[in-house]
Amino acid sequence: MEASALNGIKPSDLPSPPQAAILIMRACTRNSADSKELGKLASNDPMLTTELLRVVNTAFFGSISKQITSIPRTVTVLGQHTLRNITLCVAVRDSVKEGSIPGFNVAQFWEDSIRRAVSARVVAQHLGIDYEECFTAGLLQDFGLLALYHVYPEKAERSSQLREQDPAKRRQAEDDLFGVTHDKIGKMLAETWALPEVIANAINEHHSLESGQADNEHQIAMVLHCADWINAIFTAKDKNATFQQANDVLTEALTIDAQQLETLLASIPEEVASAAQALGLNINKQEEFINILKQVNTQLAQANLSYQEMTRQLESSKTERDRLQTELNKELSLAREIQNSLLPNNMPDDFPVAGINLSAKQLSGDFYDYFLLKDGRIYFNLGDVSGKGTHAALLMAKTTSLFRCLGKRVHEPGKLLAYVNEEIYETSARGMFVTMAAGIYNPESDTINLANAGHMPAILIDKNHQLSKIEAQGPPLGVMGDSVFPEAQFKLNGGSLYLFSDGVTEGRLENGAELGMKGLLELFRSLAKKPPKERITAITSCLTKHANVLRDDVTLVLVENTLPK
């Protein structure tokens, strides 16, 4: 995106210094022009000449006691290098005037630019490199941002938000806003104005420094990087976080301790005021560094208080959470006790029906039941409620209660399921349903009448280990009203009838594989000689002995003629 955005901006779109200034800068950069030629170039713009002479005679830029009255004299006394830098400073200052970009505070931008320039000068003096070159580069390092607002004035309203961010976040915000960043535009400007390559590259690289680069060009880029963070200390909204990051950047780059750094930073406001006066720029009264430190400490104290309050609230929330969890566990334990009370009572080992229910959670959505009728027949069922949790547990309790209550009077499984279906269809939440297989076993005739409401097929294994499936002939309970549930009738003849939930076939074995229908049928055959209760316990143990947590409820019912032959 950056490349396409950069290609869309032409040098002619960007602010440009006066022509006389550009000619002077190019001549000074070539080092081939003498003082007379430079004086002649300057004379083409009397206003520029007057301003240059005013600036070179200020205390900030001048270093002599005798006043300089001509451009040739400036070259003789200060050199072409200094003339070029001062010309550039003046030309850049005049390239964009207050009010030229609606919604953009040009004066504030120049204040920040001067602060970066002064910071670069102070850092360069500390490092013993060309501080005048660094001052000029520092003044220009963010000029690319001003140029972007010049090209896209409709985005100037975001300028104050960007100013309040630290250098890294601000550059990212620029990329999001413009599709290009100020350092890339700055290099384009520097090349257009024929500035020295060392300045152009330093502007381009002050956000992308690489370790181990120590030549002059990269030293200036590092100085500009430091200057950017120093300026952010004075402008960023989050003073505390910005100061901490700036402290890390500066102490490492300058190899100074915290006290030396504070001394360096304390000199910045006064130097900014002097530089602004020399360049003829009106800026606000500079805030002393001691006040910035107070703001940093205030924000740090507020952050600590906020942290302490957050910790207190967290501890309070944890206590409340633990209390609620304890209450919830009590409620769930009570609910589980109620669920267990709905399961059939333990019967003698020779009772023809045996069942087991293992819950994946505290509350189960599976259920089974069996009970004796007055005539000696045995009602039995196994069901699975859709979903998990409290809703499923409540529907499970309702369904099993309806089955037991109605089953004492309705002795036809298909008709009983129809009654239960109507009640669930009319009263349960839409989307909730129950699958169930239910039947009556007559031990005397060895006959079973079985109805299946959308549940998994019941498996009948005869005495010769041949199996048959009793598939569902009706929909799940609660899905449709007025449903019919046909019954299948058959004899056990020494065989076994198995009902089970999908948690059995979908359970995991010790090797991590799913048991599946094939694996379950193999277990039925291999464990056929065990007594019913031992058999269903052995089957479920294959799914639980290695697993800490079940994936789903596991429920199994076995019907077998255990009466003496």
How does pLDDT run across 165-208, given as a tens digit for each residue? 999 999 999 999 999 999 998 888 888 877 778 888 888 998 87
CATH number assigned to the domain with residue range 347-560, chosen from the 4 options 3.30.230.10, 3.50.50.60, 1.10.1060.10, 3.60.40.10: 3.60.40.10
Q: Provide the CA 2 distance to its chain's centre, in angstroms.
A: 25
Within the chain, all domains assigned CATH 3.60.40.10 are found at 347-560
User: Parallel, antiparallel, or unpaired: how do β-strands 378-385 and 467-470 relate?
Assistant: unpaired
With H, G, I as helix, E, B as strand and everything else as coil, classify residue 180.
coil
- Which residue ranges of the chain lie beneath pLDDT 70? 1-18, 20, 29-33, 42-43, 45, 62-66, 75-78, 96-98, 210-217, 299-310, 328-342, 362, 430, 546-549, 563-565
Whole-angstrom distance, CA of residue 319 vs CA of residue 166:
39
pLDDT of residue 565: 44
With H, G, I as helix, E, B as strand and everything else as coil, classify residue 372.
strand
pLDDT of residue 8: 55
| Phi, psi (deg, nearest 5) at residue 399 | -65, -45
| Those residues with Cβ within 8 angstroms of residue 267's Cβ, 6 or more apart along the chain or in another chain | 122
Whole-angstrom distance, CA of residue 15 vs CA of residue 265:
32
What would the two tokens of residue 60 be? 């900030």
* pTM of structure: 0.54
Within the chain, all domains assigned CATH 1.10.3210.10 are found at 2-287
| Phi, psi (deg, nearest 5) at residue 476 | -60, 155
Whole-angstrom distance, CA of residue 547 vs CA of residue 552:
12
CATH 1.10.3210.10 correct for 2-287:
yes
pLDDT of residue 564: 54
| Those residues with Cβ within 8 angstroms of residue 223's Cβ, 6 or more apart along the chain or in another chain | 120, 123, 124, 127, 129, 134, 137, 138, 202
pLDDT of residue 398: 87
Whole-angstrom distance, CA of residue 94 vs CA of residue 248:
36
Question: Whose CA is closest to 261, among 244, 273, 276?
Answer: 244
Residue 553 identity (one-letter amino acid): D
